Amino acid sequence: MVTKNDVCAFLEGCGIKHDDIVTIHCSLKAIGEIENGADGLIDAFCEYLTDGLFLVPTHTWDNVNKENPFYDVKTTVPCIGTLAKVAAFRADGIRTLHPTHSLAVFGKNAADYVKNEEKLASPAPIGGCLNRLYECNGKVLLVGVGHDRNTYLHAVDERLNIPDRLGQDTFEITIKDYNGNLIKSPPFHPHFTAAADTCVSDYYPNYKKAFEYTGAVTYHHLGNALVYCCDARKMTDTVEKAWSKTDKDLCISDNPVPPEYYR
């Protein structure tokens, strides 16, 4: 069984500091048995990150969309994973008002970190909680999953203005905040890539070798799960360098980034 002490030792082994900002994508099943389950895992992260923040994606992009443009921060259920569904409704976290890519944020500075998410017009723009991992030198943990679940890479696309990443068919979303107030989002651009046959995130593993070469990722284990510990800034810089070497889209087919683009 993975205990709280095991989680804290794991974080220390990843080189994560007590004041870091850390986000996670996690397969609980891949880890194996955890003391107190999903809540126990969140408790352990919060206990370790005494002066930092723990960000758990609680995304609703599959059930908040043009056909159903309504998000209630207190009741809308995440469309991803057990950890998200637990984190979204914990009393010690603050769930952001982003209507499609919310996060549950834990830590003493959470209230400041989550401000103004309801004003965003796309999933992960500069100034948003996810994209701000770059300025904060944040870390992304992929626990039992790969880069196809690395939502931060959408933020990289938006930061670097990668073409053909956002839909031009916008819609407004009604957001219900913690006090029951109804807020209208700005015209919202969802993720959409016309040139791809699927979501570009399915092709984010194309960056895997590049991230390894530049030191943007190190590998660890938590329980039975392989963990990618990713440096947000190094991932961004690696992607920027690779795109500077080509005029072709690097994530619309299953082809690793050529080594000459990142070496």
pLDDT tens-digit readout, 148-157: 999 999 999 9
- pLDDT, one tens digit per residue, over 122-172 is 999 999 999 999 999 999 999 999 999 999 999 999 999 999 999 999 999
Quote the pLDDT of residue 90. 98
Query: Residue 51: what are its φ and ψ, rounded to 5°?
Result: -120, 15
Percent of the chain with pLDDT over 70: 100
- Whole-number mean pLDDT of the chain? 98
Residue range 65-101, pLDDT digits in tens? 999 999 999 999 999 999 999 999 999 999 999 999 9
Instruction: Specify the pLDDT at position 234.
Output: 98
Query: Structure pTM?
Result: 0.97
